Chains A and B, each alone.
Chain A
Amino acid sequence: MRKNSFWEWEITKRTPWFGADFKELYSFRDLLFRLVRKEFLMYYQQTLLGPLWMVIQPILTVFTYVLIFDKVIGLETQGVPPFLFYLTGITLWSLFSDIFLGTSGTFTQNANIFSKVYFPRIIAPVAILLLHLIRFLIQLLLLSVVLAWYYFTGRYQPDGNWLLSVPVIIMTAGTAFGAGLIFSVISARYRDLMNLQQLLVRLLMFLCPIFYSLAMVPGDKKWLVSLNPLSSFFEVFRYAFIGKGTASMNELVYSAVWMVALVAVGILLFNKRGDQLMDVI
């Protein structure tokens, strides 16, 4: 009889919960970085302004919001210039929605490549995650420039601590990634969800304190916004950059628990179910 160690790998029906081991994942790092690069190139393929869109897009969005929420509706922004107020919210929101929408299409959009070649499937959503983190950093740069302009022209004096934003950014990205993974698995099986997804994201957007702050929500409706685990992230993020925002420790713990749960369930579900999905998509 041959010794067991004679064989280097084995294929059976079992799927480990963690999909691939870290040694294997590490061996696919070149693919990961190439995919990030590819997605990046794809975004601005055949555009005139190229990567400039990364900053133009949020600016245009903010102008729209300023027009509607400030000029038309006249929503209060706690003494912060509306442009700065909305830009802060939009920056973090696009991080969430980009990662969530990007990763939730993992199976449906990669069905072709998944059916032709093996690589640890988690590489695909992780590439999307990295891509949007990089885009986010560039948008953060825009936010800093705008903030500096307000500061040096003396129009607004923020008194936040930007270091507080770091854990919040990580947790927002984590929540989006976890939720995206769960959605990717379910929507591969039930395409029905793809129709609902856009609606859900829009609904969630209004439940996040982006154009308003938690302090402005009437007391009897507060629970609705507080229920949203993302709310405290927006408050802390805004506090970190423009010094306006309130979040209690309880709210942050509540959000953190959500994030950890979503990431854990997402990764496990993705790895465990991913293999079976190959026979469905």
Chain B
Amino acid sequence: MAQPIIQAENVSKVYRLGTLGSGSVKKDLKRWWLTNVLKKESAYFGAVIGEEQYQDQEFWALRDVSFEINEGDVWGIIGSNGAGKSTLLKILSRITKPSSGRIRGRGKISSLLEVGTGFHPDLTGRENIYISGHFLGMTRNEIKRNFDEIVAFSGVEKFIDTPVKRYSSGMYVRLAFAVAAHLDPDILIVDEVLAVGDAEFQKKCMGKMKDVSTNRGRTIIFVSHNMQAVNSLCSKAIWLQTGKIKSTGNAHTVINQYLGAHQRRLWQQEWSPENAPGNEYIKVLSVKLEPDIPEPGTPLTITNALTVKFTFQNNTNDINLVAGLHLFTLAGECVFDIATAPGIFKEGLMEGECSIPGNFLNDGSYYFSIIFVKDTSEPVFYLEECIYFDMEDYRVNTTWFGKWMGYVRPQFPFYIKSVNPVT
């Protein structure tokens, strides 16, 4: 049975926005005078001194966060910007103190909050390996023992006695990561280091973290915006929202909840006949995206089929009508433009439907526009950007977590085979 290695109880961190970095003696003296001499308790919350009003506000970066992490677990911390992820990491790394609550734990912690902690541009690669290693908690003997391996791992052998300011940024990052990769703490805290570096480097990072957790049984706490990475690396996850734990538990479940709540969506719009968009020929009454997801609230992934449905009032009787569907990426590039077969329809309520199979679109943000054309060439009405949706990535059995290229990711029959094996 796994033992807990970190236990956080009601950890809170509050910043006073007004005092934070004000750095003015005058203001502080006034505050001191008010609270300590005049005994006005309210000094922090908007006391009026002359014409000045102090609008000191409290900002809770974390509020009553409790969790328990078992030995050997890999935890992901997810949440949008400003949710408190970094604050939590800083408290765990002992960089800043909590305002209340406590964290207890066992063993040695190393935190990688940046690539190249303690690196100095003027010093050589060799010196920087030692300095960075010591900052991250390695002893001299540990670094000595691993020195050749670190250099080999970084691939900068030739330049090891050159000041790192002359390195290319790629070499710099590789050397920095090589040091970090040879840490052997009981608990490793990693903040978004994957955000830097090229694809090859990211792959190396992920591989190393997997190795640390599976082969050496170390505990890892990992913050990332890359849900793919969290999903494949972590077994457990914490979802922070405005300083509080929104959800915690099995990584896959928590990520799905998070994505479900954060996906950009405008899946459905309906209008009454009076204010329906359109003109004397066409009035659109509703548009709707019906994704084929198992239950509401689960995120839309690239495997899900999509159905677009729309209804409109047709006020024409004798024109050759065509409906077209344009799919755009959020950046405005058209992915496809498809049209119905032309037809002459009677005046009245009409509906349209288009089915897009799963495993066709790549992950990303998209929107639909609907166009009505008469006589195959003359636009009648163009309803722009009426449906928005996000497609999440879905990958199994892969070690590659970077952005998959292209607007579409179809699964066409594709194979390689050996035709003339050398035996």
Complex interface residues of chain B between 88 and 123 (CB less than 8 A to chain A)? 90-107, 111, 113-114, 117-118, 120, 122-123
Select one of B21, B103, B117, B140 contacting A11, CB under 8 A. B103
In the assembled complex, the Cα of A6 lies from the Cα of B117 at a distance in Å of 31
Q: With A and B bound together, what is the CA distance between A8 and B111 in angstroms?
A: 18
B394 at the interface (CB under 8 A from A): no
Query: When the two chains form their complex, are residues B98 and A38 in contact, meaning their CB atoms are under 8 A apart?
Result: no
B252: chain A residues at CB < 8 Å are: none
User: Can you name the residue of chain B whose Cβ is closest to the Cβ of A118?
Assistant: B94
Number of interface residues of B (CB under 8 A): 43
Tell me if A115 counts as interface (CB < 8 A to partner B). Answer: yes
Residues from chain A with Cβ under 8 Å of B118 in the complex: 113, 117
B95 touches A278 (CB 8 A): yes
Cβ–Cβ < 8 Å partners of A7 in chain B = 7, 104-106
| Given the contacts A115-B95, A278-B95, A192 and B101 also touching, CB distance less than 8 Å | no
Note all chain B residues with C-beta closer than 8 A to A115. Answer: 90, 95
> A34 to B127, alpha carbons, bound, how many Å?
9
Please name all residues of chain B whose beta carbon is closer than 8 Å to the beta carbon of A9 when the two chains form the complex.
104-106
Contact code string B2-17 (vs A, CB < 8 Å = 1, else 0): 0000010000000100
Contact with B along A15-32 (1 / 0, CB 8 A): 100000000000010110
Residues of A within 8 A of B103 (CB): 10-12
B215 within 8 A of A: no
A222 within 8 A of B: no
A190 to B106, CA, bound (A): 38
Looking across the interface, which residue of chain A has its beta carbon closest to that of B104?
A7
Given the complex of chains A and B, what is the CA–CA distance between A7 and B134 in angstroms?
25
Q: Does B130 contact A (CB under 8 A)?
A: yes
Q: Using Cβ atoms and an 8 Å threshold, which residues of chain A touch B114?
A: 116
Please judge, given known A-B contacts A7-B105, A38-B120, A280-B23, whether A117 and B15 are in contact too, CB under 8 Å: no
In the complex, the answer to whether B101 meets A12 with C-beta atoms within 8 Å is yes
Contact residues of A between 161 and 175, Cβ < 8 Å to B = none
Q: Is residue A61 contacting chain B, with contact meaning CB distance below 8 A?
A: no
Q: State whether the Cβ of B135 lies closer than 8 Å to any Cβ in chain A.
A: yes
Residue of B nearest to A37 (CB): B127
Q: Is the CB of B117 within 8 A of A116?
A: yes
* A11 with B97: CB separation less than 8 A: yes
The residue that A279 contacts in the complex, of B96, B102, B117, with Cβ under 8 A, is B96
Q: Is the CB–CB distance between A46 and B93 below 8 Å?
A: no
Contacting residues, chain A, for B15 (C-beta < 8 A): 279
A185-204 contacts to B (CB < 8 Å):
189-192
Q: How far is the CB of A101 from chain B (nearest CB, A)?
A: 20
CA distance A7 to B6 in the complex (A): 9
For A38, the closest partner residue in chain B by CB is B131
> A11-B91, A11-B103, A189-B23 given as contacts; is B136 within 8 A of A275 (CB)?
no
A31→B135 contact, CB < 8 A: yes
Picked from A11, A35, A46, the residue with its CB within 8 Å of the CB of B98 is: A11
Closest to B8 in A: A11
Which chain B positions have C-beta within 8 A of A72? Answer: none
Report chain A residues within 8 Å CB of B91: 11
In the complex, per-residue mask of A23-60: 1 if CB is within 8 Å of any chain B CB, else 0: 00000101100110110011001100000000000000
Q: In the docked arrangement, what's the CA distance between A35 and B24, Å?
A: 32
Most buried by A among B7, B21, B135, B163: B135
How many Å lie between the Cα of A92 and that of B99 in the bound state?
44
CB distance from A88 to the nearest CB of B (A): 34
The residue on B at minimum CB distance from A14 is B97
Instruction: Chain A residues near B102: list those with CB within 8 A.
Output: 10-12
Does chain A have a CB within 8 A of B25? Answer: yes
* A64: B residues at CB distance < 8 A: none
Which residue of the partner chain A has the closest CB to B119?
A113
Q: Tell me if B396 is interfacial: C-beta within 8 Å of chain A.
A: no
- Which residues of B (197-237) have their CB < 8 Å from a CB of A? none
Q: Is A221 among interface residues, defined by CB-CB distance under 8 A?
A: no
Q: Identify the interface centre among B97, B106, B130: most chain A CB within 10 Å of its CB.
A: B97
Shortest CB–CB separation between residue B61 and chain A, in angstroms? 10
Q: Please name the residue on chain A nearest to B21 by beta carbon.
A: A280
Interfacial chain A residues near B93, Cβ < 8 Å: 117-118
Residue B37 CB within 8 A of the other chain: no
Check: A276 CB closer than 8 A to any chain B CB: yes
B123 touches A190 (CB 8 A): no
Asked, given contacts A30-B134, A34-B131, A34-B134, whether A12 binds B98 with beta carbons under 8 Å apart, the answer is yes
Q: How far is the CB of A128 from chain B (nearest CB, A)?
A: 15
Interfacial chain A residues near B113, Cβ < 8 Å = 116-117
A13 touches B7 (CB 8 A): no
Answer yes or no: A149 CB below 8 A from chain B CBs: no
Contact A13 B97 (CB under 8 A): yes
Quote the shortest CB–CB distance from B115 to chain A (angstroms).
10
Contact (Cβ within 8 A) B104 A10: yes
B100, B104, B123: residue with the most chain A Cβ atoms closer than 10 Å: B104
Q: What separation, in Å, do the CA atoms of A169 and B15 have in the docked complex?
A: 43
Which one of B95, B104, B111, B120 lies within 8 Å of A42 (CB-CB)? Answer: B120
Which of B92, B117, B123, B163 has a CB less than 8 Å from the CB of A38? Answer: B123
Interface residues of A in 250-281 (CB under 8 A from B): 275-276, 278-280
> Which B residues fall within an 8 A CB radius of A?
7, 15, 20-21, 23-25, 28, 90-107, 111, 113-114, 117-118, 120, 122-123, 127, 130-131, 134-136, 139-140, 163
In the assembled complex, 23 residue pairs joining A and B whose CB atoms fall closer than 8 Å, in A order, are A9-B104, A9-B105, A9-B106, A10-B103, A11-B104, A13-B100, A30-B139, A30-B140, A34-B130, A34-B131, A37-B127, A41-B127, A45-B163, A115-B95, A116-B117, A117-B93, A117-B111, A117-B113, A117-B136, A189-B23, A189-B28, A190-B23, A279-B96
Known A34-B130, A278-B97; 20 more pairs at CB < 8 Å: A7-B7, A8-B107, A9-B104, A10-B105, A11-B98, A12-B97, A12-B101, A31-B134, A38-B120, A41-B123, A41-B127, A45-B163, A113-B135, A115-B95, A117-B93, A117-B117, A117-B135, A192-B23, A275-B97, A276-B97
The 6 closest A-B pairs by CB, nearest first: A7-B104, A31-B134, A118-B94, A11-B103, A12-B102, A30-B140
Residues of A near any B CB (own CB < 8 A): 6-13, 15, 28, 30-31, 34-35, 37-38, 41-42, 45-46, 113-119, 189-192, 275-276, 278-280
